[in-house]
Amino acid sequence: MANQQGSFLTAIDLGSAKTCALMVEVTDGGLRYRGHGVAESRGSRKGVIVDLDKAVAAIQKAVEAAEDKAGAAVEHAIVGVGGAHIRGVNSHGGITLGTRPREIGRDEIKGAVEKARSIPLPPDREVLHLLPQEFILDGQAGVHDPLGMMAARLEVRVHLVTGASSAAQNVITAVNRAGVHVDDTVFEPLAAADSVLRADERELGVCLADIGAGSTELVVFLQGAVAFTGVIPVGGDHFTSDLSLGMCTPLAEAEKIKKVYGNAIVTLIPEGNEVEVPSVGDRASRLLPQRLVAEILEPRARELFEMLRETLRQGGMFDACLAGIVLSGGGSRLPGIFDVAESVLRRPVRLSWPTPLAKMPVSLAEPEFSTVIGMVHYGQRARVARGFQGDRWGSRLKALLVG
Ligand SMILES: Nc1ncnc2c1ncn2[C@@H]1O[C@H](COP(=O)(O)OP(=O)(O)OP(=O)(O)O)[C@@H](O)[C@H]1O
Ligand SMILES: [Mg+2]
């Protein structure tokens, strides 16, 4: 198989429900789709690897399908991390350049950012992202790129995304064992933001909520920079398990019923509609009102958005999201979820679909692929920045500054 690593870029999203590999070619005209593969996730749950061998097998399956389609081998990839172990925190730091203003170079910027980064962290946690929000030059805030400017004191506000070291390392190990080197890791909703959020939303203030299978991951942008990240430990799987318990049906059947007949608004289901519900064991299946499905799903959806509202309030972000809340992820495909989100949050809400890549099949243009599609955009920006700066640290900083 041809090896065209130079012009190819691969992203791997190890979700709780599906593992997806996406290969793109970097052309003068932008990113062009070359191949993808999807495998049912076995071995990872809620962003954490629980069975290494199964996770490796799922990655291999997805990668092989992508390679077959693209006609090229995957050697390197950018990989997503997520899950309830992720925490976001804002920090601030700075350096004095001298008694008189001096020109700010890369080393000074690095020095100030390193100061902001040096917050006490438990030994089992690591910084996944260091996202500059603004630079402050001699007390003047709001500077996006201080390179070449003059100041006696340089300060920076940053948002740090931290995660459990073991969780991130296990994801890397699983991808390595599948024969792929990990170039970089990215917090999943940050990548999804690249494929669904618009620049004006990021400026005005917006929260992206990626409703996955195991959790709902959040990222808030204010004035173009990341102001908040968080994870709510509720995702589509919780809706499915509520149905399984409430209708006394196996999980796999509950999942099918949710996707075919589910709705998060009871009153949107006509009275009298019935659904055939398989039973557990040898018992015969039953005909139950379709409204019962919505009666089980609606409270879970309300709870999810109440948790979202409280999480944003506690982070001081709820009133700042003037452009509202954007929903992505497979969980956002539940009919009626938009209405519940609007009624609980009382903010503008929109559903989102990933901006398509050139030549991308329509089957990928669904909310559950926003993360993996965003990851190739993110990977490309990091690669460009690495070219400018020649180091990984610089690429991370730069990739996010231009974001
Ligand atoms: N049409 C649909 N209606 C309702 N729910 C759906 C629909 N399609 C997918 N889902 C749900 O979306 C979830 C999967 O979403 P997604 O593929 O974004 O998750 P993931 O990325 O694998 O998981 P995570 O991000 O939590 O690691 C599942 O819970 C699935 O039941
Ligand atoms: Mg996901």
- Between the CA of 138 and the centroid of ligand 1 the distance, in Å, is 48
- The residue whose CA is least distant from atom 21 of ligand 1 is 15
- Residue 258: nearest ligand to its CA? 1
Tell me the one-letter amino acid at 355: T
Q: Return the closest-CA partner of residue 158 out of 187, 191, 118.
A: 118
SS3 202: helix
- Buried b vs exposed e over 61-98: b needs ≥16 C-beta within 10 Å? bbbbbbbebbebbbeebbbbbbbbbbbbebbebbbebe
CB–CB of 146/104 below 8 Å?
yes
Confidence of residue 400 (pLDDT cuts 50, 70, 90): very low
Torsion of CA 40, 46, 51, 54, to 10 degrees: 10
- Which pLDDT score is estimated for 154? 97
- The residue whose CA is least distant from atom 9 of ligand 1 is 330
Q: Do domains 199-235+300-351 and 236-297 have the same CATH topology?
A: yes
- pLDDT tens, 34-90? 999 999 998 887 778 889 999 999 999 999 999 999 999 999 999 999 988 999 999
Report how far residue 339's alpha carbon sits from residue 207's, in angstroms, rounded to the nearest whole number: 17
Report how far residue 319's alpha carbon sits from residue 267's, in angstroms, rounded to the nearest whole number: 30
Torsion of CA 373, 374, 376, 378, to 10 degrees: 180
The full DSSP string for 287-311 is EEEHHHHHHHHHHHHHHHHHHHHHH
- Which pLDDT score is estimated for 382? 83
Report how far residue 196's alpha carbon sits from residue 263's, in angstroms, rounded to the nearest whole number: 24
- Between the CA of 94 and the centroid of ligand 1 the distance, in Å, is 42
Average pLDDT, the chain: 93
Query: What residues does 26 pair with on adjacent strands?
Result: 31
The full DSSP string for 235-257 is -HHHHHHHHHHHHT--HHHHHHH
Atom number in ligand 1 closest to CA 216: 26
- pLDDT tens, 265-309? 999 999 999 999 999 988 999 999 999 999 999 999 999 999 999
Tell me the one-letter amino acid at 188: E
Residue among 333, 353, 363, 372 whose CB has most ligand 1 atoms within 8 A, to mutate: 333
- Between the CA of 46 and the centroid of ligand 2 the distance, in Å, is 9
- Which pLDDT score is estimated for 44? 80
Phi, psi (rounded to 5 degrees) for 353: -130, 145
- Which pLDDT score is estimated for 341? 98
At 222, which helix (H) or strand (E)? strand 216-222
**Architecture in CATH of 236-297:** 2-Layer Sandwich (3.30)
**Does residue 251 have a pLDDT over 70?**
yes
**Architecture in CATH of 87-164:** 2-Layer Sandwich (3.30)
Domain spans of the chain, in order of start: 5-84+166-188+372-401, 87-164, 199-235+300-351, 236-297
CB–CB of 215/376 below 8 Å?
no
pLDDT above 90: percentage of residues in the chain: 87
Any residues with Cβ below 6 Å from ligand 1, and which? 15-18, 41, 47, 82, 212-215, 235-237, 240, 255, 258-259, 262, 329-331, 333-334, 368
Give the CATH number of domain 5-84+166-188+372-401; options: 3.40.50.300, 3.40.50.970, 3.30.420.40, 3.90.650.10.
3.30.420.40
- The residue whose CA is least distant from atom 20 of ligand 1 is 15
- Which pLDDT score is estimated for 105? 94
- Residue 214: nearest ligand to its CA? 1
- pLDDT tens, 88-123? 999 999 999 999 999 999 999 999 999 999 999 999
- Residue 15: nearest ligand to its CA? 1
Q: Which fold has domain 199-235+300-351?
A: Nucleotidyltransferase; domain 5 (3.30.420)
Neighbours of 126 (CB within 10 A): 15
Least confident of 10-24, 138-152, 282-296, 389-403: 389-403
- The residue whose CA is least distant from atom 4 of ligand 1 is 334
Neighbours of 173 (CB within 10 A): 16
- Which pLDDT score is estimated for 5? 54
